[in-house]
Structures are given as C-alpha cells and as structure tokens.
Amino acid sequence: MLDRVSSAASGAFTAADQPLLIADGLSKRYGRIDACRGVSFELFPGEVLAIVGESGSGKSTLLQMLSGQMTPSAGRVSYRMRDGVLRDLAELGEAERRLLLRTDWGFVHQDPAQGLRMAVSAGANVGERLMAIGWNHYGKIRSVASDWLERVEIDTGRIDDAPRTYSGGMRQRLQIARNLVTDPRLVFMDEPTGGLDVSVQARLLDLVRSLVAELGLAAIVVTHDLAVARLLSHRILVMKSGRVIETGLTDQVLDDPREPYTQLLVSSILPA
C-alpha cells in the first residue's frame, strides 16, 4: 500500500485504505508473442497512474485489459463497486458491465472520433450519457450539457454544432466532457494529447489536471510522453516488451531512474 504523498501537479495524493482497482498477474499472449506478461498493481481512489513505454511495449494492451475491452490470457482485474464490494470484472454480467461503463468509468480515446458521435450535436454527445443512466428531462439535460461545455472551455453557443465542425483540441475537450458528466470514479486515457499541436496539448493537459484534482478522480493514463506522465500522474509504470520493468512515484522514477531502459527513455525524451 502507498503510504507516501506525491507532489504531482495534479494535486497531492494519499492512498486510501482500500484499493479501487487491482490488477493481478495480467498477461496477454498472441501465439508465441507475449504482448503483456504478469502485470500486477493496485490503484487507489484519487490516484493518477501513468503507463509509459515505447511503441510495442504492451501499454495499450494492458489498458484494454484493465478497461474490460480485452480478455486477458491469464490473471484478473478486480474493481471495487460503489457498495464497497470488490468484484472480478470477468464475473460481471452484461448488464452490470454496461452500467459500469455508463456510470463509474470513462474512457478518453486518442482519436476523439472513437469516443464521440460525430454526426450529432455537441450537446447531444454529452446528453446521451445522461440519458443512458435514466435522465429524461430535456431542459435539465441541455443545461447540464451546457455547463460541461463551459467547464471544458467550449463556447456554449456551439452546443448545437456537430463535433465534425470542431478542431482536434475541441473534440478532445468535448470527449472529456462526455466522459465526466456522469461523475465517474475512474477514467482511462489512451494517449489523450496524441496528434495535437504543442500549444493545444499544453492547454488540454492543464484542463485535465485541474478536472482530475477538482473531482477527485482516479485515472490510468497511457502515454509515450514522459512530460505528460510527470504533469498528470502520482505514480508511474514503465513497460518494456510486455513487462513492467520499473515502478514508483513519478517524480522519483523520472528524476532518478534505476533501470537502464528507463534512463534511456528519460535522457532521450525529457529535456535536460
């Protein structure tokens, strides 16, 4: 259990007594290829965990298993439900899984088109998630959608515009609003700033950092960018060839990496 506090920019984090999510020996094998091998860790409420590594390291495969999009070849993922009971994701019924995805979890894709309905309005994209959990008052749904557009720095005058008319950065901010409107406890993020201009990345990262801290969210962020990991996360997992080779508090690992591979990543990606 974590008993230290990280000074990550996303805010101070102190581990609660009970983990929110537990990964136990997760592995994924494709024929003779091990995409992920024996990954275990615990994630606590309010903690932001970064998973880093070069392309092909297994970080995206791990994220898909953690979020229930992929069935592991071995190991299991357990999640603590709102009633406090720890449940194995593999044992959840289809209705329970759908409810979890609509309420407790959010998933921010690298390509916003994967997480949005591009042909309907921005307001509808946010409102659909509310309707999926039983909201049916149009005026209230539109009001909350408008509030969330404002929170993610989108002009509320564009609430009726389709995301296909938005810039890349605006689409990503809309995807964040769509995911956070139901007050999830855990958000998965897959390269959330990938493909964006540097100035747009900085603005988006500031927004994500402030929202995660304000809402007390737990988050798992996959990124190849160690600067993103430093800015957002409390703790970091470094992956190579499907294995976690180093883990610890983010600042500690990035400032004083033990493993040669991590040292190479830090020296080649982070500025001196």
pLDDT in tens, the chain (272 residues): 333 334 454 455 666 579 999 999 999 999 989 999 999 999 999 999 999 999 999 999 999 999 999 999 999 999 999 999 999 999 999 889 988 988 999 999 999 999 999 999 999 999 999 999 899 999 999 999 999 999 999 999 999 999 999 999 999 999 999 999 999 999 999 999 888 888 889 999 999 999 999 999 999 999 999 999 999 999 999 999 999 999 999 999 999 999 999 999 998 864 43
Q: Is residue 205 part of a domain?
A: no
Pairwise CA distance, residues 262 & 240, whole Å: 9
Q: Which residues of 227-249 are buried (b: 16+ CB within 10 A; e: fewer)?
A: bbbbbbbbbbbbbbebbbbbbbb
Provide the CATH number for the domain around residue 78: 3.40.50.300
58 and 172 both lie in a single domain: no
85 and 138 both lie in a single domain: no
At 137, list the tokens.
């008052």
Helix (H, G, I), strand (E, B) or coil at 17: coil
Q: Is residue 267 part of a domain?
A: yes
The whole-number pLDDT of residue 14 equals 61
Q: Is residue 211 part of a domain?
A: no
Q: Is residue 138 part of a domain?
A: yes
Pairwise CA distance, residues 122 & 144, whole Å: 12
Helix (H, G, I), strand (E, B) or coil at 202: helix
For the chain, report the end-to-end CA distance as a whole number of angstroms.
32
Q: Which domain covers residue 19, as residue numbers?
A: 1-92+188-198+221-272
